């Protein structure tokens, strides 16, 4: 079933790519767009994880450069029954994390230094278990490919507005302007059709892997506000990458691919037969994190 959903999603994005090509270049433009889309699908299948990691200036760490964080991931991967993923850190204050890779054997997880500074060890474990849940559920391939292809659709729409066609072949200005706004919006709609259910599934898997749904719920409550407020240059350059993160980053609720954080927290607490109120905007002062990024370099 996941394979069918993946094929349908990529077909929809490819069709959107072709429609833009036709709008700006007629039949020839549609054929070129099809060839470009096919090439992008193949290229991103093998390389999307590297593209996304480079986009975030992520640096790979190991048991020597980040022993606590790396060791935590190793323990969680063992509990999840997964091969050890590559581990990355991203130097930014915005607290967030994501997973990428075409399959569990070629996966990577990344966390920001802001996330490690803000959360306790148990909360970090919950967040990273969520990301390993995406890997175990085989969500990472489609999430990463969508991030790169949807970003390309936005780029082509904007490029076509200013450079598409000449004379009679030039698109109607009103249609072209509509494409600039509707193409990224359509790509987001396709993402939203699958991403919200995937997040609930990864939350459940993360709670099972970490054995502590309350810690994951607490982490979501703490990082949701700062992640949305603080600048994220990678998302500003390519808004489609926002759907990779555990919580939305610098995007409006209209375009969010994630369920409301409060709903996710409620679902997690229900796993303990409990409930929780929405988190406060400013968490109370806490003890120094067990995974302080200053001790991970």
Which positions are annotated as active-site residues? 131
Query: 159: Cβ–Cβ under 8 A, 6 or more apart, which residues?
Result: none
Both structure tokens of 272: 């303990």
CB 100 within 8 A of CB 52: yes
User: Residue 56 annotated as binding?
Assistant: no
Q: If you count them, how many residues does the chain have?
A: 297
User: Residue 262 annotated as binding?
Assistant: no
Nearest to 261 by CA among 232, 223, 231: 223
State the SS3 of the chain.
Answer: CHHHHHHHHHHHHHHHHHHHHHHHHHHHHHHHHHHHHHHHHHHHHHHHHHHHHHHCCCEEECCCCCHHHHHHHHHHHHHHCCCCCEEEEECCCCCCEEEEECCHHHEEEEEEHHHHHHCCHHHHHHHHHHHHHHHHCCCHHHHHHHHHHHHHHHHHHHHHHHHCCCHHHCCCHHHHHHHHHHHHHHHHHHHHHHHHHHHHHHHHHHHHHHCCHHHHHHHHHHHHHHHHHCCCHHHHHCHHHHHHCCCCCCCCHHHCCCCCHHHHHHHHHHCCCCCCCCCCCCCCCCCCCCCCHHHCC
Annotated binding-site members: 130, 134, 199
Annotated binding-site members for Zn(2+): 130, 134, 199
């Amino acid at each position: 079933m996941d394979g069918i959903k993946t094929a349908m999603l990529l077909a929809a994005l490819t069709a959107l790519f072709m429609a833009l090509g036709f709008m700006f270049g007629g039949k020839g433009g549609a054929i070129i767009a099809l060839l470009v889309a096919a090439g992008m699908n193949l290229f991103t299948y093998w390389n999307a994880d590297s593209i996304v990691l480079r986009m975030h200036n992520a640096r790979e760490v190991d048991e020597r450069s980040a022993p606590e964080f790396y060791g935590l991931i190793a323990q969680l991967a063992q509990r999840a029954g997964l091969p050890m993923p590559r581990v990355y850190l991203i130097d930014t204050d915005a607290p967030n994390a994501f997973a990428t890779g075409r399959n569990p054997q070629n996966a990577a997880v990344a966390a920001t230094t802001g996330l490690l500074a803000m959360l306790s060890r148990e909360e970090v474990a919950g967040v990273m278990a969520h990301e390993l849940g995406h890997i175990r559920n085989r969500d990472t391939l489609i999430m990463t490919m969508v991030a790169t292809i949807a970003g390309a659709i936005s780029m082509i729409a904007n490029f076509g507005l200013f450079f598409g066609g000449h004379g009679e072949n030039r698109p109607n200005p009103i249609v072209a302007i509509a494409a600039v706004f509707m193409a990224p919006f359509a790509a987001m709609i396709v993402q939203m059709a699958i991403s919200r259910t995937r997040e609930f599934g990864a939350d459940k898997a993360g709670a099972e892997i970490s054995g502590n749904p309350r810690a994951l719920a607490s982490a979501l409550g703490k990082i949701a506000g700062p992640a949305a407020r603080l600048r994220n240059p990678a998302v500003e350059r390519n808004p489609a990458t926002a759907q990779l993160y555990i919580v939305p980053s610098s995007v409006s609720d209209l375009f969010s691919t994630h369920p409301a954080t409060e709903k996710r927290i409620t679902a997690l607490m229900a796993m303990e037969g409990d409930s929780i109120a929405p988190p406060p905007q400013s968490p109370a002062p806490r003890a120094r994190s067990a995974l302080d990024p200053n001790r991970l370099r």
